[in-house]
Structure 1
Amino acid sequence: MRLAEAVANRLPPLLQRRGLKAPFRGFYLTEVSGLRLLIADMDTSQVNFLERYTSGDLVNHLRVETGLPVYLAQNNGLRYVLLLSPPPRLPRKIELPADAPAHQVTLGMRVDGTLAQLGWGQMGHVLAAGMTGSGKSAFLRLLVWQALRDGLRLLLSDLDGATFPMLADHPALLQPIASAPVEALELIGRALGECDHRAALFKQSEGFPENIAEYNAHAVKAGKQPLPRVLVVLDEFSATAAAEPQIKALIAALGWRGRKFGLNVVFAAQEFTKELVGPLREQVSLAVCFRVRSAELARRVGCEGAERISPNRPGLALTDRWGPLQTCFVDKSLFEANAVRKAALTEEERLIAVRAAAGGGHISIPLLTVWGWSEWKARRLLESWERRGWLVRDGVNRRISPKLRELVSNPQPPQSASNPSNRLKSLITECSGDADVPAGEKL
């Protein structure tokens, strides 16, 4: 009770110091599934600019100042949920769920039991740091596997040859995997060349597209081939930059041009020097730090405490976006080409494709609406299938392609599904339900 009262007394001045009102209707102490929670209920009728009260920056500030995990509950009004009990421990290993959505990058599990997921555009560029054996290489394979599933093209640098040996000569590669610093420099040049190529296509496109999503929307509408995203992974980046100093001058151009033209860049290394982190931090949208050697390095990349991660917890990382994260694991055997392609097709999509194939292969928005789909959902599906080469045009009509017929001709390959405990997600849902206040003791 004393801790709850102390925290409740601290919240109003914390908001006021940021120039915000603090119209709390009440503070409630409750317990769900053995976890003690403090619920701070906000009177939103007295709040201007609600987004200022729900920003990630504010929530992170409250976490730092209170020393407690803080969550938002917005289903009915606005409540801050503070966990007074020790948070549940993250699992030691979580395999990528079989139902992980396509075109969303599933990164791992957060302490509240939810999965950290971002669209490729939302994820942007990534900085990944970690010692040998910390799980960094497995994390890079996780990103690459999902890139292959979603039809991205690849540019990979793997100096020690241990991270991506199974992808040598893979058809998704825009050029061979770089195995030496000079080859990595050539690979970065290839990435910038792809930006030049796409810039020319953007200029020829109607609508003056500002990013790849806008360009592809116009391309599909005009019956042209959409541009796939490209995942660029630069493993052992610090060693590459030390051997080829001119790479540092290319980082800024690769960063800002890549975002516009659909390139996601991952800068990965065991160590990032102060001189290298400076320009990188301006380019990356997400830092993922596995166990590192020093507290100074952890602070440098924005993930304080990563040096304290146990060597017995591979895959556990700190992030500058979600805090602790147990990253998902993909077994190397799943990189077999046919398994990756089949995983890109959800069960619902597979049933639609089977039904279309049985009807001669024709598929259209009106047909899907007859089958119970909304027009908006049907359009999204067909645009997605066209981008992946699963549809071919027959005049103004569409047919499923031979590639899609092949995917649905055999059952889906088995994958390991993960059904982790979701206690915090459930309790936060309870706390944001229809009741005026959560059940519990009022402070």
Structure 2
Amino acid sequence: MSAITTTAIDIAKIRAQFPVLDQEVNGKPLIYFDNAATSQTAKNVVDALVEFYEKDHANIHRGIHTLAERSTKAFEATRERVHRFINSEEADEIIFTKGTTESINLVAQSWGSKFLKKGDEILISQLEHHSNIVPWQLAAERTGAIIKVIPINAKGEILMDEYKRLLSAKTKVVAVNYVSNSLGTINPIKEIIDLAIAHGATTMIDAAQAAPHVKLDVQELNCDFLALSSHKMYGPTGVGILYGRRDILEATPPYQGGGEMIKDVSFSGTTFNDIPYKFEAGTPNIGEVIAFKYAMDFIDDIGHENIQAYENELLEYAMDKLQQIPGFTPIGTADNKASVISFLMQNVHPYDLGQLLDVKGIAVRTGHHCTQPLMDFLKIDGTVRASFAVYNTKEEIDIFCDALQKIVERFK
């Protein structure tokens, strides 16, 4: 590995924005390495959420009183903020959902019901989270479309030659993740999209893991759909977005029926609202959407480039240390990775290892990480996954590696 350099960010200032980190678990200082599952929530986000419920709590879009107008303004400010965060062409291309899972289901059900037909082919990769597999299986059952799987190599990288071979005039949609939640692989997403476009396919990008680590630009990527989740980005749970190009959103039927998504309703028929409201039936998660804006502010204040450089530094440092521990086996060794390390330790079951680390105040994730087909390909039941965020430190990695070393010695 290359020499490790120090990235110029103020880690103490960043950690001060996460009071949750300043606590003990099982009598030990908390070390939180489960960021790929959900990152901790920045204080400015929590403050915004509290302020909404204490001062501005009212339903949006339909009220003319002051609180309703303040809530609506703050809610729509987050839509505008997402528009700038991912560089969509316009804010109306941003749909609020519960998260990446609901966003993908929206596309698979609503877009899929109109545009997929018998014999069409859906391409997904072997790296996908269940939320980018199951919705397409359901869509295939409804429409008669066929799912084809893009294979990967032993390092956890998409085999691009095989992807090119699978693409054809029958390919209707390519649905892949930008970054693997299990292995940390950063896929060559721009090339994947360009090849899909060349074959006339629609693209659905799962950017849940990419959003906190990689600068997103949907116009540069030229994708049709992209989904992400707030809780992976130092924001609240229960909030995500679906980006879609205006023309494709306008051609897609509504996902759910109810209030907000209509212009006029009578018993003889209904006229649907314009985008994005056509896809936002009912009262949304208002306070959490409003607070999500401050999570994007937190990321942009540090800068994606600085975050990625620092997390890469942590990744490199951790791998150097872990490889010195007897029995350490990394799972997923792609050349281009986000700050995720999946691994196994000889003679220690992942679940046992996770519990023993928790005793020492260290939070990691164990299991199949909602990627059972990937684990089947790798011929393992699951892994231990340590995933780093911008508030983690090398000192925490030292404690983690020392704990692993002592656990391994117990199981000799």
Q: Could you say which TM-score interval applies, normalised by the shorter chain?
A: under 0.3
Greater CA radius of gyration, 1 or 2?
1
User: What TM-score do the two structures reach when normalised by structure 2?
Assistant: 0.27
User: What TM-score do the two structures reach when normalised by structure 1?
Assistant: 0.26
